[in-house]
Each structure stands twice: as C-alpha cells, then as structure tokens.
Chain A
Amino acid sequence: MNWNFIIFSLVKLAVIVGVVQGLVAYSVLAERKISAWIQDRVGPNRTAPPFMKYVPVIGPFLTRLGMFQPLADGLKFLLKEDFTPAGVRKIYFWLAPALAVIPAMLTVAVIPFGSNLGDQKMVMADLNVGILYTFGIVSLGVYGIVLAGYAANSKYPFLGGIRSSAQMISYELSMGMSVIPVLMIVGNLNLSAIIGWQSTHGWLVLFSPLSFFIFLVASFAETNRLPFDLPEAETELVGGYHTEYSSMKFALFFLAEYSNMVSSAAMMVTLFFGGWTLPFWGLDQPATSLLLGVAHILVFMVKMLAFMVLFIWVRWMFPRFRYDQLMDLGWRRFLPLALFNILVTAIWMWLTAK
C-alpha cells in the first residue's frame, strides 16, 4: 500500500468533487443571469447575507451579480419539506435521485484537467480505456431518470421516463459513432494520450469537425438540455420525470443535470479542443513548474466554462424539438452522418498514409 498515493488521490477526489459542485451551483446562477440578459431582464440581484451591506463597494457589487443566490437556493432546497406522495414505489423513489447523481459525478474521474502539479498527474484515474469508461458511465445515467419516472406511479413522470430511455439510447449511438474518427486518428483510447496527440498535431476539431458537431448535438440530448429536454418538457409533462419530487431529492436531479453538463463540456474540451493545452506561450508541454501547472488547470477551466455558456445560451435561444423530430434527427440524420464520417476519415487516413 502506497500511502502517498492514497492521500494524494483523496485530496484530488475532494478537490474535484468540490469544484464540480461549485461549478454546478454557479452555473445555475449563470443560467439565470444569462437567460435574464437574453430576455432583457435583470436576473437575481438582491439576495445577500445581512452583514453584506456593511462591506463597501464589493458587497453591493457581488449582490448585484447574484453571487449569494446559489447559497440561498441550496438552503431553501435543504429546508423545504421532503414530501413522499402516497402510492409511489418507495424504494425506487428514494433510489432514483442517487442513481442520477452518482454516474454524473463518476464521469469526471478520467478527465485530465491539467498536466501536473509537482509530480502529481492532474487526473484521478488515467485509464487505458478512458473514453469507453465515460460512455459506460454516461449510459448508466439513464436509470436515475427512468426509475424516477417509474417510481412516481403517475402519468407525466412515467411519460418522461419512457421518453428519456428512448432518447438516451438513440443519441448514445450517434455519440459513440462520432468519436470513432477521433480514435482512428489518434490510435489510442487514453484521454491523456489524446491530449498529447493534440499538443503536437493541433486540435482535433480541425481534423474532424463533423465529429465535433455530432458529439455536441448528442451531448445536448444526453444531458436532457433544450432543445432536447423532452423528458422534462414543462409545457407537455408538467415537470416530466421529477414532477413528484420535492426538496433535496428534486435538487439532486438538478445537480445531476448540471454535473452532466460539466462532464460533457470537459469531454468536448478534452477530445476536440486540446484539453489543458494551448498552442502558444509554451503551454502545450507538461508543466515543469508549479505556476505552469496552475496555468494549465486555468486553461482547462476557461475552455470548459466557454462550453457551459454555450449550453446555457442554446437553451434560451432555440425552441424544443418535437419528439418525432428528435428521433428522426437521431436515427435518420446523425447515425448515417456519423458512419459516413468514419468512412471519410478512413479514406483520408489511407490516402495520407503513403
């Protein structure tokens, strides 16, 4: 047993979970602020702890930005009555929120969010089959939603659960197919190796833009975000799969959705946008100093946040797809397109190999 390894792993685990949770809390705030700007409103701008009014300049500024809103939201979720409706299937009703959150948190384990700090690699588990691991865990995420729909024993959540299972399977296929050209070009399933390849050859989005496009759209569907949020379409299904949930159990579904957004943003950065590397200022090699290591983590965070903003921006810009349109897009457009992309990549590689 290597105690050094255990201690550093635990520290990394705590930091990653903390950062993801913080990101989730503040992306809810970002969602509210950005939607407010898009709709010409102000958004949350007055929640603040009582002592904040005695802090000059910074206090009112942070309050105006809504920086304390997530704290208030979290507190409210914790203090609301946790109501279990009569007639729900109790075990599944309790299990479903946990099953939604666990896969969402597990996916970040393989993502290299920096090169190294000192001699510690900035990744929880540098798996040989990194991408496959992510797909496996993401495909388990559907159970939380399906079971939530089943457990509620009520029509709208049930429809939400059914929709979600069909949607997730359909888009997982396109998502998996869209990544294959990336694997063909790099020739490795390890995420660190994919970043390493990109630091010498250039970002993969330039080599396979079609892959990136399909992956992007499929990840919107996988995270149940608009324009594909059919499982929780408010106008048709009240609240979809989480209609019967209240208090912290309801919040856990939100947590899962936003954690999924964080991890798919991180996946897109890793697979297509060079991960923690930048092609200039010598940021494309593993860090030799502590400062450079921190810079790599910051680069990764900035790229990831850009994708988070994209997720939020799209939600407030596009109307929801109809269900048949969603299925049509998944099976008749994206799947053949992804297969065609594999073929084109294979031919291109065959031609350039000589």
Chain B
Amino acid sequence: MGLPDILFYVFAALTLLCGLLVVANPFSRSPVTSAMFLVLTIISLAGLFVLLNAFFLAAVQIIVYAGAVMVLFVFVIMLLDLKEEERRHIKAFGFVTGVVSVGIILSVFLKSIGSTAKLALPAAANATTAGESDTHALGMLLFTKYTLPFEVISVLLLVAMIGVITLSKKDLK
C-alpha cells in the first residue's frame, strides 16, 4: 500500500465522518458547527479529487464551495442568529422516506461502480495524468464535445441568478 492509497483512505474516512457530523453531531447542535463540518467534508472531497489527478476540479471545489458558498452560509447563519436546535424525535414518515431515498441513491451508485469495474483501467484517465495540463484538456472538451450542455447549464445559472434578484427585491416597479 503506497502513500496515495493511505491518503485515499484518510480522505475517504474524513469525508464520511465529517459528512455524518454535519447532520448528526452528538456533541453540538449549533448550526455553525454543522456548517464548519460541511467545509471539512468539502475540503476532504477536494483531497480525493487531487488523488484522482483532477487538480482543476479540486481547486474549483475549494474556491467555489469552501471559499464562497460556505462563507455565505456561515454569514447567513450568523446574521439570522439561529439558536441551537433542540433534539427532535425521528418521525416514522421521515424515517421511511429517508431510508427509501438513500436506498435508491445507493443502488444507482452500486450500479455505476459495477459498470466501471469492468472497464479495467480506462485509457482516458492515463491520458490526463500524462498530459502536461488537465485544465487545457478540460477546456478543450467543454468547448468542443460538450458545448451544448455547458451552455445550457450557463443559461440555467443565469435564470437562477435573475430569479434570486427578482425575488429579493421587495419593491418591483
């Protein structure tokens, strides 16, 4: 077991542990604590991306999620001055729907893991590690093969942004 393998297990364990502590922290019910554990989850996920040689994705993950989205989360939590939430009893309906949705997601994951296992080691993964810059390759793919999905997502984000601005403006003229 080399260093990358050890690091993989460390980051994977950290991701799972922090993810669990976001939703079910036995020591603290403070929203800020949950938010900080979410930041840790995101950073350990970025570590996993680095181990996959996806440096660009890792950097963007940290810049966008840990650096901007989560800062806004913390900002809002602090502004709203949320008190520590009381421990709630788990309701039967919530429990059943939770288990069902987790089961569905798990089956999707298992299926995709099963289908990738047959591919041995894909040649594409080696190409990106050997190439001098995976950012370049990513850019090329985004503007040639995946132009349409890329643009559609951009439009979607634009629509969301305009929607937020309209909703947050109180007096529309």
A interface residues (Cβ-Cβ under 8 A, vs B) = 92, 127-129, 132-133, 135-140, 142-143, 146-147, 149-150, 158, 161-162, 165-166, 168-169, 172, 176, 188-190
| A146→B55 contact, CB < 8 A | no
| A128→B134 contact, CB < 8 A | yes
B interface residues (Cβ-Cβ under 8 A, vs A) = 32, 36, 39, 43, 46, 55-56, 59-60, 62-63, 66-68, 71-72, 74-75, 78-79, 132-135
| A140→B133 contact, CB < 8 A | no
| A132→B63 contact, CB < 8 A | yes
| A188→B133 contact, CB < 8 A | yes
Task: Kindly name the residue among B71, B134, B135 whose own CB sees the greatest number of chain A CB atoms within 10 A.
Answer: B71
> When chains A and B are docked, how far (Å) is the Cα of A132 from the Cα of B32?
27
Closest beta carbon of chain B to A167's beta carbon, Å: 11
| B59→A165 contact, CB < 8 A | no
Nearest residue, chain A, Cβ from B75 = A165
Residues of A within 8 A of B68 (CB): 139, 169, 172
| A136→B59 contact, CB < 8 A | yes
Residues of A within 8 A of B132 (CB): 128
| A162→B78 contact, CB < 8 A | yes
Nearest residue, chain A, Cβ from B73 = A165
A140-B62, A162-B79 in contact; A132/B56 too (CB < 8 A)?
A: yes
A140-B67, A172-B67 in contact; A150/B78 too (CB < 8 A)?
A: yes
| B78→A142 contact, CB < 8 A | no
A128-B134, A128-B135, A188-B133 in contact; A139/B59 too (CB < 8 A)?
A: no
* Majority secondary structure of chain B interface residues (helix, strand, loop or mixed): helix
| B75→A162 contact, CB < 8 A | yes
> When chains A and B are docked, how far (Å) is the Cα of A190 from the Cα of B133?
9
Residues of B within 8 A of A161 (CB): 78
| B59→A133 contact, CB < 8 A | yes
Q: Contacting A150 at CB < 8 Å: which of B32, B55, B71, B133?
A: B32
Closest beta carbon of chain A to B59's beta carbon, Å: 4
Closest beta carbon of chain B to A134's beta carbon, Å: 9
| B135→A129 contact, CB < 8 A | yes
| B133→A165 contact, CB < 8 A | no
> When chains A and B are docked, how far (Å) is the Cα of A147 from the Cα of B56?
28
* Majority secondary structure of chain A interface residues (helix, strand, loop or mixed): helix
> When chains A and B are docked, how far (Å) is the Cα of A283 from the Cα of B66?
40
> When chains A and B are docked, how far (Å) is the Cα of A172 from the Cα of B43?
19
Nearest residue, chain A, Cβ from B61 = A136
| B135→A165 contact, CB < 8 A | no
Residues of B within 8 A of A142 (CB): 67, 71
Residues of A within 8 A of B72 (CB): 165, 169
> When chains A and B are docked, how far (Å) is the Cα of A176 from the Cα of B39?
21
> When chains A and B are docked, how far (Å) is the Cα of A129 from the Cα of B56?
6
| B71→A146 contact, CB < 8 A | yes
| B59→A132 contact, CB < 8 A | yes
| A136→B75 contact, CB < 8 A | no
Residues of A within 8 A of B63 (CB): 132, 135-136, 139, 176
Nearest residue, chain A, Cβ from B81 = A158
| B66→A139 contact, CB < 8 A | yes
Closest beta carbon of chain B to A330's beta carbon, Å: 14
Q: Contacting B55 at CB < 8 Å: which of A127, A166, A169?
A: A127
Starting from the known contacts A137-B62, A162-B78, 20 additional A-B residue pairs (CB-CB under 8 Å) come to A128-B134, A128-B135, A129-B55, A129-B56, A132-B56, A132-B59, A132-B63, A133-B59, A139-B62, A139-B68, A139-B71, A140-B66, A140-B67, A142-B71, A161-B78, A162-B79, A166-B75, A169-B71, A169-B72, A189-B135
Residues of A within 8 A of B74 (CB): 143, 146, 150, 165
> When chains A and B are docked, how far (Å) is the Cα of A53 from the Cα of B79?
56
Closest beta carbon of chain A to B67's beta carbon, Å: 3
Closest beta carbon of chain A to B80's beta carbon, Å: 12
Closest beta carbon of chain B to A229's beta carbon, Å: 19
Nearest residue, chain B, Cβ from A168 = B71
Residues of A within 8 A of B75 (CB): 146, 162, 165-166
| B78→A158 contact, CB < 8 A | yes
Closest beta carbon of chain B to A150's beta carbon, Å: 6
Residues of B within 8 A of A133 (CB): 59
| B60→A132 contact, CB < 8 A | yes
> When chains A and B are docked, how far (Å) is the Cα of A158 from the Cα of B79?
9
Closest beta carbon of chain B to A326's beta carbon, Å: 16
| A136→B67 contact, CB < 8 A | yes
Task: Give me 25 A-to-B residue pairs in the complex whose CB atoms sit less than 8 angstroms apart, sorted by A's number.
Answer: A127-B55, A128-B55, A128-B132, A129-B56, A132-B60, A135-B67, A136-B62, A139-B62, A139-B66, A140-B62, A142-B67, A143-B39, A143-B74, A146-B75, A149-B78, A150-B32, A150-B74, A158-B78, A161-B78, A165-B71, A165-B75, A169-B68, A172-B67, A189-B133, A190-B133
Task: Kindly name the residue among B32, B43, B46, B67 whose own CB sees the greatest number of chain A CB atoms within 10 A.
Answer: B67
